[in-house]
Chains A and B, each alone.
Chain A
């Protein structure tokens, strides 16, 4: 099964306690929670008291012949004061609640993002960025109504329903029981609705996430779509996806249209039934007409909050599915990298040793088979081999991006799984095949968020990477803006900048993975001489296809299909007259 499908399969699991977990977030600001509740009560209290003012006037003061202006001014003013207080309280309550809601969303968002940041590469291999993005952005956003509106409504309406029921029972038990008879009907309808709506929302959210992913992928790859004239085809795909989204949306409307209105229908039918059934009692005078009339009124008042709750159910259901999708990731502990645990590397020397390492990205598909080698501190090593032979995988394993299945990796003689990850990666700088530049300026791209790197260091690094002059030739120099992914630079320019980034990080171990592939030989040569001076005393590991760039390495490993077939320095490998010497001679005869 597609990894993605499996991920949406997760959310199909019924999560227990999602609601409770969401409510628990109110705990992050108990003061504001209490304040919102208090203000909500105040608003309600004012609403209840306002008509009472009127009742007092009518019952106690309003008589023909009573012209006492002062009394009426007093009560008029009192009424207005109450209204003003209630208005003020409502304003404050909305603010408090929205503040609280936003604070909770902020917390969930940052918790989720921080959690995702600590996920291992395996997680990112298995989940496309569009889908992860949807969870951080859209799913968190879907919770907004829950916190801004629904929780408070539910509490308020629920209290109303209970109050109404008590009043009804006090008035006439028989009638009240009859009314209660409709409860199972409502409960059943609600249950059926919930099941159907849930199923539909799971589909909707999964599809929205696909639309998001599709957009992301095609915005990034739009140039290819255009160059290959694939606009129509891609449009059809996108339209198809959106049409399906539309149909699911219609389903949502249908279900929603059946939820609250059905409850209103039930309440009205209940009134008709009450009149029909109890008319005889009224005629026999075993039931007062007033009570029957009052009951029809109460039924309406009882069902109003219930229908209100049902109305909110759609939004709530949608939010709960989103919450499940969020908690899915938060609860995924198995892909997490523990960035804080482990030993710190102090005085990093830079030795790397693989002992019988076996590794597969997915079960049994061995990418590395029993690989062993040792790179001494301060030496330079090179890996060559056909594409797909596992060179880049070796580099990923040195930085511990994946967990190996068998064998051992030692860094400075310490089992790498015992080393603190940040400490390990801070000491290793990698210049990768796929260069990635961030939106920002060039300086930021070299420094990243490392405030320890000063502007002077950045320029030093750029000089070492032979791109100082290039950078100065841009209109903004070091402050020149970089578009998303660095797409306004040529690949060669990007490689040079990412080189500078690696140098500025002052690593003890520098890994160059095809880092000069798109750089011309002249620039490469200048770069190399700069690098040699810089790398003196540091360990250097190079992956290259151009043999000319690696002949001076202290040790060269020749890889094929996940195994190291030959090892030694240039001369000894030539003497071996194996794969290496064949490759070398081929490069000469071009």
Chain B
């Protein structure tokens, strides 16, 4: 998908009003331009000493022309500028849809503030290009044509050509600076993105900043970025500000030449003084629209550089897709088989040739339908990576994961994710009520389902203690829940969807032992018949599982078996149990 194709799409959809609007510009200009002529007629009537109905009609004509010019202008503006608002909205929602399709690697590469800047300010620049950019260009064009026609009529075609002598040079000059103008505009947009990214990040991490008393140095950092933006603007202005004066000066040169030549001609009697003044007047009229070109070019280059920035996003392809999907393939029983799976994160920074070490190293295991497997292991042993591969957040490079005998790549992403209930490690709640966060827009989840899930994770009573109960707004715009409360809402969100596979990533880390016990017994009921994967550091949670797998720090399977088997093995898991319970 490219920016161009999206704009074309919109033109096909509702471009008609745009072109009708643009055509109407000529009509309104016509009526506006007719007023001086009508006025002249009225004056003539007066001059001849006539009055009465003829004069009334002349006055009425002026009024009518004025009214027509006004109404047509109003309509074309509504059509043209309305279309531009439409294109703005269309691009933004298409961008959002595109963002929804992009995978994890994209979000590691682009900062939130950067994406927002593109979605808001760059889209706005696009609107200005089609709106004010086109309207001004059209205005300039009609004015230019009108004065050229007048000039040709009054002073002859040859004279008009002389007046137009600087035009090719100016076009050459503009084409010369166009590219570097766009480059400088691009730099401005980049600087704006950097600034927004920094501010966005600062606001997200404000607590850390305050904790470490970093407010002043943060202010300095932002001031630095703001200064960069200022400098980038000035670099652009140094170039763009020259356009209009250069155009005017070029015409002045012709004008001066004409003063010299024309006055010689008047002296020689080959033209009259009247011709001389009229011609001067026309040239002056011509300069104004041509000088507007400077603004037009600025707006256009800004729009084009923004378009380029949007294009960058639109050209990104989701690294996880349904290229190998078979229609209708779905999760049926929830049997998971992992075969010789290895994985290393791709290096997103193209400038380095260094590679990440493998996080997962030749892993194989099977989980039967309805069985629960606990996964434990040290920090960085690849537990979460395994979960994200199962959810297809990253493309699998080596080895295979299959579900119900089908390669995971052959199951449409949507089907796979519908079947999996996932509780992420860093639980993220949206700015919405608790009930919406748990139901998360699944239409077939009833209120009772929500309550049941909340009870299963022992958060129901907590919620009922809030003044607004389930309607309490949480997330960034609402009440702050404690870490443990957030985790439990996040588990309820996964449970309520009655998944075939439940994937819990370290989701009890922030709850106390008592709550943990209550949740575990609640989960037990929910998990019957569901295939489960529980990633945890806690022996207590691991015991919920039928079998336990221990990953080593090299991302290999160190031990796998039932609790009993592993205890008898007296290996890493045994040590873990001792460490967590026996040491005192």
Contacts and interface: CB of A to CB of B under 8 A. Distances in A.
Interface in A103-117: 103, 105-106, 109-110, 113-114, 117
A493 B380 contact: yes
A523 B579 CA distance: 11
Majority-rule SS of A interface residues: helix
Interface in B261-297: 263-264, 266-269, 273, 276-277, 280, 284
A96 B218 CA distance: 30
Interface string B110-128: 0111011101110000000
Interface string A228-243: 1111011100110011
B229 to A, nearest CB: 8
B73 to A, nearest CB: 5
Interface stretch (A27-35, A184-192, A193-201, A252-260): A252-260
A230 B201 CA distance: 25
A129 B476 contact: yes
A392 to B, nearest CB: 6
Contacts of A220: 112, 204, 428
A280 B200 contact: no
Nearest to B320: A226
B100 A76 contact: no
A158 interface: no
A223 to B, nearest CB: 7
Given A212-B120, A289-B47, A448-B214, A264 B70 contact: yes
B58 to A, nearest CB: 7
A152 to B, nearest CB: 14
A426 interface: yes
B268 A117 contact: no
Interface string B351-386: 010111100000000000000000011111001110
Nearest to B218: A117
A385 B484 CA distance: 11
A20 interface: no
Interface in B418-474: 418, 420, 422, 424-426, 428, 430-431, 440-441, 462, 467, 473
B70 A265 contact: yes
Contact of A487 (B63, B92, B107, B352): B107
Nearest to B242: A91
B263 A208 contact: no
B51 A475 contact: no
A253 B78 contact: yes
B42 to A, nearest CB: 5
B104 A223 contact: yes
A386 B299 CA distance: 59
Contacts of A425: 210-213
Interface residues of B, number: 183
Nearest to B359: A490
Contacts of B517: 586
A518 B210 contact: no
Most A CB atoms within 10 A — which of B267, B512, B581, B583? B512
A401 B485 contact: no
Contacts of A531: none
B13 interface: no
B349 interface: yes
Interface stretch (A78-86, A165-173, A320-328): A78-86
Interface in A204-220: 208, 211-213, 215-220
B66 A268 contact: yes
Interface string B481-494: 11111001000010
A218 B477 CA distance: 13
Contacts of A347: none
B149 interface: no
B23 interface: no
Contacts of A551: 584
A514 B426 CA distance: 13
A222 interface: yes
B157 interface: no
Contacts of B70: 261-262, 264-265
Interface in A330-384: 339, 361, 365, 384
Nearest to A115: B219
Interface string A42-86: 000000000100100110011111110100110111011011101
A313 to B, nearest CB: 15
Nearest to A85: B249
Interface string B58-97: 1110110111011001100110011001101100110011
B417 interface: yes
B215 A118 contact: yes
Contacts of A394: none
B378 A523 contact: yes
Interface centre among A3, A238, A426, A450 (most CB of B within 10 A): A238
Contacts of A496: 379
Contacts of B377: 520
B450 to A, nearest CB: 15
Contact of A58 (B69, B101, B273, B393): B273
Contacts of A121: 206-207, 210
Nearest to A135: B199
Contacts of B467: 365
Interface stretch (A404-412, A433-441, A533-541): A433-441
B205 A3 contact: no
Nearest to A385: B512
B66 A105 contact: no
B51 A279 contact: yes
Contacts of A223: 104, 107, 393, 424, 428
List of 6 A-B pairs having minimum Cβ-Cβ separation, nearest first: A387-B484, A83-B252, A268-B66, A449-B217, A475-B354, A492-B379
Given A265-B66, A548-B583, 12 more contacts: A62-B266, A62-B267, A63-B267, A64-B267, A69-B260, A90-B248, A106-B230, A109-B226, A133-B203, A439-B201, A475-B355, A518-B425
15 contacts: A90-B245, A117-B202, A117-B209, A121-B207, A216-B112, A216-B200, A222-B107, A228-B497, A289-B46, A289-B47, A387-B510, A388-B484, A484-B108, A484-B201, A587-B513
